[in-house]
A and B are shown apart, each in its own frame.
Chain A
Amino acid sequence: MTSSQFTSGRAQGPSAAGHSTDLAIEAVNVEKVYGATVALAGANLVTHPGEIHALLGENGAGKSTLVRILAGIERADAGDVRLFGQPVGSSEAAGHAFIHQDLALFQNMSVAANIALIGGFQHRAGLIDERATIEACEDLLDRLGMRIDPRMLVGELPLADQTAVAIARALSRGVRLIVLDEPTAYLEARQVRNVLRLLRRLKEQGVACLLITHRAGDVLTACDSLTVLRDGRTVASRSAAGLSEPQLIELISGHAPTTQPRSASEVRRGRLLRMSGASSPGFGPVSLQVGAGEIVGLCGLADAGAFEVGKTVFGLARLTDGEFWFDGRSDPPTSPAAAIERGIAFVPSERRNAAIAESMSVRENLFMKPNGGWYRPLRTRQERRAAVSLVERLDVYPAQPEQTISAFSGGNQQKVVLAKWLRNRPKLLVLNDPTAGVDLAAKADIHTRLRQMSQEMGFGILLISSDFSEVADLADRVYVMRRKHVVAEVSGSRATANELVSLAYGGIEI
C-alpha cells in the first residue's frame, strides 16, 4: 500500500507478436471439456481498458468456467486466452483482480487489516505500525470515494460496503483489470448505485472491468458493452447502448420473453391482512392491506424498514403499537410456528443461510416439518408422491426429489423453497427478495408462476424486495417506504422501477 497507486501504467510489459496490448482480455475460441461435458465450445470475449463489460448468460452457460480460465485456476483445452497481450498465468502479479461472489473477506478482522493483508502493512522498526496502516487505508478509501471507517470489523459492515472493501482491497495493489462475479446480487438500489459508481470511476482511470451479473439494470445503466454466452458459445458481443430489457432477456435465453397479462383487474376475494398505525422498533407507523389473490409490493432502501414489517407479520418480531388484523383475528402471531398455523408462509432473502438445508434431499427440504405432531410416523410413500407432484408443478429441474438440494441451481432451489410452502395451501406468502441471485430467465419464470398460483390458489403475497424492477413487474399495488414510514401507495399497473426508486429516495438523487 506504500506505492499507493491503484492504477498501474498500461504501457508496461513487452507486447507479444501479433497480439495487441490495447485489449484487456482477449479470449478467442476457448474450449473446455469436463469428462463427457462440453462447458465451453468456442467462447470469445474481448474487453478494452477503460470499459465496463458485462458477461451474461444463464446458469450453466459457461460464464464461471470462462472466469476460472481467465483467473488461471483452470486451463483451456483449446483457444487463446490473453490478458493485456500476455498469455494467462505468465505473470502472477500482473495486476488482475478477481472478486468472487463470497468476497473472501475476513469477517472478524478490521477493514484496515483486510486491506493490508493484500496491500501490505505499514511497518515501524520491523513491527506493524497499526496507526500508519489505518491512515494508509483511510487514504485509499478516500481516493476511491468510499466513506467507510477502516477500524470497523468487516462483519459489521452492510453487504454493499463489504463489496466496496473487497474492491478496495483488490485495488490496493494496483490493478489494470478487475473481474466481479455478481457484486450486486444481494444489494439494494442505493448500494448498487454506489458499487456501479465506483466501477465508473475505475473505468475513467483506465481500468478494465468485467462484470458478471444477473441484473438487467446493472447492464443497462453501467455497462458499455456486453458478451452473452449460451451453451458454452459466445452468441452475442455488442455495445450495450440502445438495448432494452426484453431484448437483453432474449439475447440471454434465446427466446423472446413472454409478457403476462396483468392481473390487476381481477376481482379480489376479500381482505386478508390489514395493519394500521403498526409500529415496532424497526419501523412505524405503517398502514397497509393485502387482499386474497393480490400481490402487494413493499419496497424501500435498506434502512427503510420494509423487511422488518415482514418479520412482524411472520412472528419474528413484535409489534409495539398499532392494529394488526389477519384473516379474522386481531392478534399478531408471536412465533413463526404460530404464524404458520394461521396460514402465513415466509421465504427469507438469504436462501443458503436461512431457507434450505443443503445436506438434505429436495423431498426432506419440502417436508422439513411434517404436518402433525412430533410423534407422528413419517409417511414416506405419500411424501414421495407429493414431492414429485410439487416438483413437476413448479417445473423444478431435474425433477428428482430424492436428490440432495445442493446439486440444484439457485433458481431451482428457490422453486423448492416456494413449493415447501405451497404444499400447505397458505393464505399469505411473505416473500423477501424471492429472486436474489437467480438468473434473468429463471426470475421471469418464478414471477409467472407466482402470479398464476396466487390467482389459482387465492393466496395473497406480500412481496418485500430491494429489487425495484421486480416489485414494479410483479405487484398489483406497491407501498413505498422511506425512513421507516410508508410514504406512497402506487397502483402496480402504473408503477415503474424508476418511479419507485425516486419515491424511495424522497425525490433526492444521490
Chain B
Amino acid sequence: MNGQASRPDAAVVLAASAPTNARKNRSVEIEGGRMLHLLGRFGLVMLLAGVLATFSIWKPDSFFAWDNFRATFAQQAIIVMVALAAMMPLIVGEFDLSVGANAGFASIFAVGLSDNQGLNPWLAIIAAVGISGFVGLTNGLIITRLKVNSFVATLGMATTLGGIGALYTHEQDLQSAPAGLLRIGRAQLFGLQMTVVVAIVIAAALAVALQYLAIGRQFLAVGANRRAAELTGIRANRRIVLAFVVGGVIAGIGGALYGANLGAAGIATGSTLLLPAFAGAFLGSTTITPGRYNVAGTVVAVLLLAFTVSGLEQVGVQPWIESVVQGVALIAAVAFSSWAIRLRTARLRDAQLALLAEEDAADTAARESEATA
C-alpha cells in the first residue's frame, strides 16, 4: 500500500514532482461503488418510500390518509425520543439498556407527582425529566468510576428502576392525571401534537450538535477508540457520562410527555419501549452515514418500522406482527451493517491494490524511458 511514499528517494524531496502528484491525487474509484454508496446511504429512505407507496395504493382510504399519518407520528414520537436516548451512549461505545425503564419511570413520576402530590403539571414534568437525567448520570458514573460494563450496569439499573416504580405506584396503574397535565400532553402546534413537535426539536438539536459541533467529533472519537481519544486530550470519561446524562434527559422528556399525553402511566411502559428503541438506533446506523449511529437514520428507521407494522395491520395481519417486525429488524440491521463493512473493506483493498499495480507500471515505464534517453 505504500508505493511511492515510503521509498527513500521520494522522501528526500518534500515537494514531489508534478507527474507523481497528478497520479497521487487520483482518487480510488470503486467499481460499481457509486451505486452501492447511494444504496448504502439512502437504501432505508427508499425502503420507507416503497412501504408508504405500497400500502397507499393497497389501502388508499385508510392508510393514505392524513389522520393515519398524524396518528402514527403521534404514537412514534415517544419511540423516536427513546431511540435517540439509546443512541447517545451507543455513539461513545456503551449500551444503555435502562432507557426504556427510565422513560417509563419519568411517565410514572410526571403523572404521579401531579396527581398524588398535587404538583403543578409543569413542575411535575420538569421533576420527572430531572429524575431521568439523574438516572443517566448515575449510570455514567457507575460505568466510568466503578468500571462496571455498561451492559451489566444498565441492565441492573433497569431492574432497579422497575422496582422503585412499583414501590411508588403500589403496583397500580396511575390513571387519574389532572386536566392540567393532559392539556400539556395533548396540546397542538401547527396541527401536530406537542410530543411530535418536541421530538422534532430534540432530533434537530441533536443532529446539529453531533454533526456540526466539535463535541460530535469527540463523541465519535471516544466510541471509535477510547484510548486514542484520551491520548489526544479528550476527557473520555466525561464524554461518556455526558452521553448518558443527555440520553437520560431525552428518555425523561419522552416518558414524561408520553404520560401527560395518555393521562396514565404504568410500570409496564418501560419494557415495551426498549426493543423498538434499539431496533431504531441499530437500523438507523445502516443508513445516511452507514456504520455510524446518526439522528436522521434513527428517525427514518423508527418511521419505517412503524409504517410497516401499521400497513400490515391494516391489510389484516394480526398485532403479533409488531413484535416480529421489530425483532427481525434488530437482527437484520446488525447483520446488514457487518456485511456492508466487510464488502466495503474488500472493495477498498482491491481498488488500492489495483492503483498500486498501475503506479508500479508507470514507474517502470518512466524508468525505462529514462534509460533509453
Interface residues of A (CB under 8 A from B): 34-39, 58-60, 231, 249, 253-255, 257-258, 314, 335-337, 339-341, 346, 348, 353-360, 364, 367-370, 372-378, 392-393, 395-400, 403-404, 406-409, 411-412, 415, 420, 439, 441-442, 444-445, 448-449, 452
Contacts and interface: CB of A to CB of B under 8 A. Distances in A.
Interface of B: 1-12, 14, 16, 24-25, 27-28, 211-218, 220-221, 224-225, 227-235, 291-292, 345, 348-350, 352-357, 360
B213 A377 contact: yes
Q: Which of A258, A354, A403 has the most CB of B within 10 A?
A: A354
A409 to B, nearest CB: 4
A356 B229 CA distance: 9
B11 A374 contact: no
B289 to A, nearest CB: 11
B212 A377 contact: yes
B286 to A, nearest CB: 14
Contacts of A404: 348
Contact of B354 (A37, A339, A399): A37
Contacts of A348: 227, 231
B224 A337 contact: no
A415 to B, nearest CB: 8
The 7 A-B residue pairs whose C-beta atoms are closest, nearest first, are A397-B5, A357-B224, A442-B6, A409-B1, A37-B353, A445-B11, A374-B215
Contacts, number: 188
B6 A445 contact: yes
A375 B357 contact: no
Contacts of B27: 400
Contact of B352 (A337, A407, A445, A448): A407
A375 B215 CA distance: 6
Nearest to A445: B11
A35 B5 contact: no
B357 A406 contact: no
Contacts of B224: 357-360
B108 to A, nearest CB: 33
A372 to B, nearest CB: 6
Q: Which of B7, B211, B354, B356 has the most CB of A within 10 A?
A: B7
A422 to B, nearest CB: 13
30 contacts: A34-B350, A35-B353, A36-B350, A36-B354, A37-B353, A37-B354, A58-B2, A58-B6, A59-B2, A258-B8, A336-B231, A353-B225, A354-B231, A355-B228, A359-B291, A368-B221, A368-B232, A369-B232, A369-B234, A375-B214, A376-B213, A392-B16, A395-B4, A395-B5, A397-B3, A398-B355, A400-B27, A403-B348, A404-B348, A409-B1
A333 to B, nearest CB: 11
A333 B137 CA distance: 28
Contacts of A393: 14
B175 to A, nearest CB: 43
Contacts of A337: 233-235
A333 B24 CA distance: 41
B213 A378 contact: yes
Given A36-B354, A36-B357, A377-B213, A398 B24 contact: yes
A218 to B, nearest CB: 19
Contacts of A370: 214, 217
B5 A412 contact: yes
B36 to A, nearest CB: 15
Contacts of B216: 378
B24 A399 contact: yes
Given A360-B220, A370-B217, A407-B349, A258 B231 contact: no
A367 B213 CA distance: 12
Given A258-B9, A357-B229, A368-B234, A374 B218 contact: yes
A80 B213 CA distance: 58
B7 A253 contact: yes
B24 A374 contact: no
Nearest to A250: B8
Contacts of A377: 212-214
Contacts of A372: 214
Contacts of B24: 397-399
Given A37-B350, A398-B28, A411-B5, 20 more contacts: A36-B350, A37-B353, A59-B2, A60-B1, A60-B2, A60-B353, A258-B8, A336-B233, A337-B234, A340-B233, A341-B233, A353-B227, A359-B224, A370-B214, A374-B214, A397-B3, A399-B25, A407-B348, A408-B1, A442-B6
Contacts of A60: 1-3, 353, 356
